[in-house]
Amino acid sequence: MDAGMDLLHSSGVSMVQYLQTQYRDSQSWFLFISFAADLRNTFFIFFPIWFHLSESVGVKLIWVAVIGDWLNLVFKWILFGQRPYWWVHETPYYSNSSVPHIEQFPVTCETGPGSPSGHAMGSAGVYYVMVTSILTILLQKHQPSVKNWCVRAVLWSVFWGVQFCVCLSRIFLAAHFPHQVITGVIKGMIVAEAFSHIQWIYGASLKKYLHTTLFLFCFTVGFYLLLKVLGVDLLWTLEKAKRWCVRAEWVHMDTTPFASLLRNLGTLFGLGLALNSPLYMESCRGKQGHSAPFRLGCIAASLVVLHLIDSFKPPTKIAALFYLLSFCKSAAVPLATVGIIPYCISSMLSRHDRKLL
């Protein structure tokens, strides 16, 4: 088993070296792709756009992103996946030869286990939701035809093109091995497809959101404590990241497993709070809710406000404070997008309409 994994990892390192050598001039492109594939962009860009164009798609995006990333965390704790940038220094596989040199970048030194790739899994899930939703909207009233086939071919080509770029990016940056990104894409698509058959999320009460958030938190902490009692340290990768990252400032606290967990739980809880708030009922469900000026205004204002929220970086010196502020910051995203901003836009438009009368 170990020999097989060593062979798999060594071939992955060879691919990392090949990409870094042959496509060195594309470094900025790979860095951009990795940044674009981060789930942060789902919450701060895709979600506000989709929610105000089609609420059901926006809600599904949040659920797929949050549950997918939570499952990714659980899989990582179970699979104990290595990462290329530390594996080459610790494996005895190269004991009779020189250790391959692979470069590191500001986004290389993630602190969690490597399998499956969170970027690949998140990107696959999110883009799967968007592509299938666009297809449903465009083709729901049309019979099969050459035009429909072309639309499907174009959209799925875009989907696979994005996944291919994300996978290459994560390998180039030495953050993942090839088998980890492939596994991530497959699992992300499975999660997204599963939510295509789950309908209760669109009318879930605040109580349901609260129970789901508490379950995800308690299960994760319980699983962590159970394995810790059994002598398994689930934060074993943090030490490796600090030891083998070439620059200490490249080891970011927001890539730790619990930081990811609290960000996701904050987003899910904030969505439940917003969807069941009077602000949402009076704005998005009111008479202004379906008008184009209202929706476009909400999208534009949400993107600006969320950019300001994203610019706030919680202090990392005190871990408990960092996690608490990360939770609150994430909860503020759907609260602003779904409740506060639509209510303000609706009030402005209503006031304008009264003046015209």
The reply to whether 211 belongs to the active site is: no
Three-class SS of 37-96: CCHHHHHHHHHHHHHHHCHHHHHHHHHHHHHHHHHHHHHHHHHCCCCHHHHHHHCHHHCC
48 near 270, Cβ under 8 Å?
Answer: no
Number of alpha carbons in the 13 Å side-chain half-sphere of residue 287: 4
Q: Which helix (H) or strand (E) holds 168?
A: helix 146-172
Distance (Å, whole) CA 200 – CA 204? 6
Six-digit token pair at 89? 């220094």
In the DSSP assignment, the letter for residue 112 is S
Q: Which amino acid is at 115?
A: S
The reply to whether 176 belongs to the active site is: yes
Q: From the candidates 101, 119, 197, 307, which is the catalytic residue?
A: 119
Q: From the candidates 89, 176, 179, 197, which is the catalytic residue?
A: 176
238's CB contacts (< 8 A; 6+ apart) are: 111, 256
Q: 249 vs 106, 107, 235, CA distance in Å?
A: 8, 10, 19
Three-class SS of 173-207: CCCCCHHHHHHHHHHHHHHHHHHCCCCHHHHCCHH
Q: Enumerate the active-site residues.
A: 119, 176
